[in-house]
Every structure is written in structure tokens, then in C-alpha cells.
Structure 1
Amino acid sequence: MGECVVEELKELIHTAKELYRTGLVRGTSGNVSVRDPESPGRMWITPSAIPYDEITVEDLVQVDLESGTPVRGSRKPSSETPMHRAIYRLRSDVRAVVHTHSTYATMFACAGEEIPAVHYLIAEIGDRVPVADYAVYGSEELARNAVEALRRAGANGALLKNHGVIAVGESLSKAYVRAEIIETVAQLAFGAKMIGRWELLTPEQLEETRKNFGSYFAAREDR
């Protein structure tokens, strides 16, 4: 295993623990994966049913993207392995996937309601956070629905109806930040709805924001 792979796996563990520390996941819910930097046809994913604060690099599982067969690691891979595989296979730009059950975003998912552009941060996700049709967790159908929701909206994140959230990125840090953003904007949208109204940003306003995001997120990744 090359040095770049080892470093990527350490970051995967760090990301998983940050999701738990910040409350974006609870218990053993959710999962994180990264495309293998040396073997793009494979990914590394967190194991099933192991608490985040106990996960080590040795617990991670390498999975072949085409067959879904575990290649390295002794643990059982996450039940959402099919969804992660489908995203990597259909989105060559994606290097990392974060799946959470964060509270406010999942409330929108349970209502089957997309998160609208109530705040400029959503520009990092798309013009909105779309909702993928419901399917049983861990199923190939859910994988297809998730990929279709991302494709349809041209988005970097989506809600899984009656389930949770996915966020994708060109790196683990990007995918993590996007999962944070989805939860933050969900909280703001919920609050605006409780007040009784919201003012939505236009696609033009969001595009203007994206032009300013490049330097901000580049600086954050360099930290």
C-alpha cells in the first residue's frame, strides 16, 4: 500500500470521527468512503456496525467498484456500499462520498421536501438540495435513485427520502464540508418556515456566489 493511500485512509478515519464529533451522525449510522488514489476502480469504505470512535485504518474495507467484492480488509463493508459504488461509477469527478442522518436535513427527507435556496451557502451544493425517491437502505434501487437525484439536479448532494443525506466531493474535505452545509441550510430553511415565509435566492444570485467560492474553499482545504 503506497504512502498516498495510507494518508488518504487516515483522512477517511479523521472525517468519520469528525462526523460523529459534530453530530452529523449518531451511533453507527451513516458512512464515509474515498476512491483509491492508486486504483480508481476501487474504493475504501467504513465498516458496518462499528462505532465511529472505535474505527481504525485496519477496520476499513477496500471494495471493487464493478463487482462490489471486498478486496482488502476483514470487516463487513457498510450496508450502503452499493450506493457509494454507483456514485463513483457514474461520477468520475467524485473522489469521496459522505452519508449522514443529520437531524434537520433528514427532517426534510422524511417530509419528501427538497431544501430550497434560502441561503447562499447552498450554491456549493447546487441550486437546491434534491430528494431521491425512497428505496430500502442498502439496496441497488436506492443506489440508482441517489445517482439519479444528483444527476437530475446537477448537485453535489441530495436527500434520501425517509432516510438521510449524501454529499459528494473531489476530496474528503469537500464532501465533509458539503454535508455540513446541507445540515446548516436545512436548519435555516426550517427556521424560516417556522417564521412563516422564506425569500429564495435566484439561480443568477447563486452563480454569482459560486464565482466567489473558489478561493474560499481552496483556502479551507489548504489549512
Structure 2
Amino acid sequence: MEQLKELVHTAKELYRTGLVRGTSGNVSIRDPENPDRMWITPSAIPYDEITTEDLVQVDLESGTPVRGSRKPSSETPMHSAIYRLRSDVRAVVHTHSTYATMFACAGEEIPTVHYLIAEIGDRVPVADYAVYGSEELARNAVEALKSAGANGALLKNHGVITVGENLSSAYVRAEIIETVAQLAFGAKLIGRCETLSPEQLEETRKKFVSYFAVSKR
């Protein structure tokens, strides 16, 4: 299945670009042939070693592995909960990217200092802390995305979660959150953190319809 090759490629790109370190983070897609299942990266296998044979198919309702011999990612509950909540989501990316995670550790939303954040929403919400891999974390992540109507969120004292209509859009959104987090961090150091209004972000979103058209095909 071509989508599984893309899933492995995206996982390796996350590692190559530094959005994840070691075996942290995870990636999944909704099964294109069965929307009640997903394919997710395995637990505790280095990204540079992952192949399509290591991917695991999981039932979204029960969280039970259906195909694959590996143990699915510890964050399977969070991915499953997001797919159950939003039928429009076809891919989920979870990272521990450095600057965004610094904001998550501070329990602070990333200021809207750059127009790119419009691709995420009017803000990047912070989900309440819960231990990794837990059903509580899954509920908190889902609630944060839902309450803000956002395509991404920070997980307090943990990392970042983004969603998309395909792998490309979910990956791009993870990059955007990290980029804007870096800019916001720098602006705070300079001592002047100017933010964009919801109206300015909406104006940008209208232009994004064509700007991101290629990555969302």
C-alpha cells in the first residue's frame, strides 16, 4: 500500500529534521480502505530502522492491534481518540520538537507572532497534563483540539500533536508550530512580542486556500 510507504517516509523525515529525537513521537494514518482502523508507527524502534513491515494496524474503537507483529506506539489511545472525534482527520503527527515543547513545559500557548499560525487556528491550545500513553491524555488532547477548533495543540509538559486531511498537511502543521514557537521565543527575548488578531489570521487563512493547495493534494 503506497500510503504505508508515505507513513514510513514521514516518520523518517520527522527524525531527519529534528522534530523528534530517539524513538520519541509517533505518526499514524486512518486506513484508506477501512475508516474504522488506523496504521501507526511501532513502539521503541528507531526511526531510521522502521519499515512498512513494522507498522501496526489498530481498531479505533477497541484499540486492539489487528495486523502487524510489533507493539503499536504508546500513544495509540490519543491517535484513536482523535480519529473517533473528527471524521475529517486522515493523519496525526506527534512530536517533541524543542521550542514548541518548551512552551508546553511552561503551560503557555504559543503567541500568534507570525501569520503561519493561521494554518493551525486562531491559537495553539495547551492540553492538560496526563501521563503519556494514558486514556486521560487522549481525552485532554481531544478536548484541547475541540475547544479551540484547532489543527494542532501543545501537550503540557510533553510535546505537540497535529492533525491533517493527509500526512503532508499534518507534517507541515508540526513544522509550523515549531517554527512559530522559535519566533515567539526570540521575540520574547528581544522584549517585544507583537501578536496578530483573529481577524488578521482569518484574512491570512483565506489566502492559504491556494498557498497550501499543493501540500494538501
Q: Which of 83, 88, 96 lines up with 1:101 in the alignment? A: 96
Partner of 1:161: 156
Read off the aligned partner of 1:21 and give its amino acid letter.
R
Question: Secondary structure at the residue paired with 2:130?
Answer: coil
Per-residue Cα deviation, 1:67-119 (whole angstroms, up to 9, x for no partner): 00000000000000000000000011100000000000000000000112100
Q: Give TM-score, length-normalised by structure 2.
A: 0.99
Partner of 2:39: 44
Partner of 2:62: 67
Partner of 1:3: none
After TM superposition, give the deviation of residue 221 of structure 1 in Å. 4.2
Question: Secondary structure at the residue paired with 1:71?
Answer: strand
Check the 8 A contact 2:20/2:96 in 1, yes or no.
yes
Q: Which of 15, 18, 22 lines up with 2:10 in the alignment? A: 15
Q: Give TM-score, length-normalised by structure 1.
A: 0.96
Q: Distance in 1 between matches of 2:143 and 2:130?
A: 13
Q: Which of 161, 173, 178 lines up with 1:178 in the alignment? A: 173
RMSD, aligned CA: 0.7
Q: Distance in 2 between matches of 1:67 and 1:194?
A: 46
Q: Distance in 2 between matches of 1:46 and 1:219?
A: 25
Percent identical across equivalent pairs?
A: 89
Check the 8 A contact 2:118/2:201 in 1, yes or no.
yes
User: Is residue 86 of structure 2 the alignment partner of residue 91 of structure 1?
Assistant: yes
User: Is residue 45 of structure 2 the alignment partner of residue 53 of structure 1?
Assistant: no
Check the 8 A contact 2:166/2:216 in 1, yes or no.
no
Check the 8 A contact 2:152/2:160 in 1, yes or no.
yes
Q: Distance in 2 between matches of 1:220 and 1:55?
A: 24
Q: Distance in 1 between matches of 2:109 and 2:194?
A: 15
Q: Distance in 2 between matches of 1:220 and 1:132?
A: 27
After TM superposition, give the deviation of residue 128 of structure 1 in Å. 1.1
Question: Secondary structure at the residue paired with 2:215?
Answer: helix
Partner of 1:192: 187
Question: Secondary structure at the residue paired with 1:199?
Answer: coil
Q: Distance in 1 between matches of 2:74 and 2:111?
A: 29
- Superposed structure 1 runs of 4+ greater than 3 Å apart: none
What pairs with 1:130-149 in structure 2 (closer than 5 Å)? 130-149=125-144
Q: Distance in 2 between matches of 1:175 and 1:105?
A: 15
User: Is residue 92 of structure 2 the alignment partner of residue 110 of structure 1?
Assistant: no
Segments of structure 2 that go 5 or more residues without pairing to the other structure are none
Per-residue Cα deviation, 1:131-187 (whole angstroms, up to 9, x for no partner): 000000000000000000001111000000000000000000000000000000000
Read off the aligned partner of 1:110 and give its amino acid letter.
C
Q: Distance in 1 between matches of 2:190 and 2:179?
A: 17
Between the two proteins, the alignment pairs up a number of residues equal to 217
Q: Distance in 2 between matches of 1:220 and 1:106?
A: 25
Segments of structure 1 that go 5 or more residues without pairing to the other structure are 1-5
After TM superposition, give the deviation of residue 219 of structure 1 in Å. 2.3
Check the 8 A contact 2:169/2:215 in 1, yes or no.
no
Q: Which of 143, 146, 150 lines up with 2:145 in the alignment? A: 150
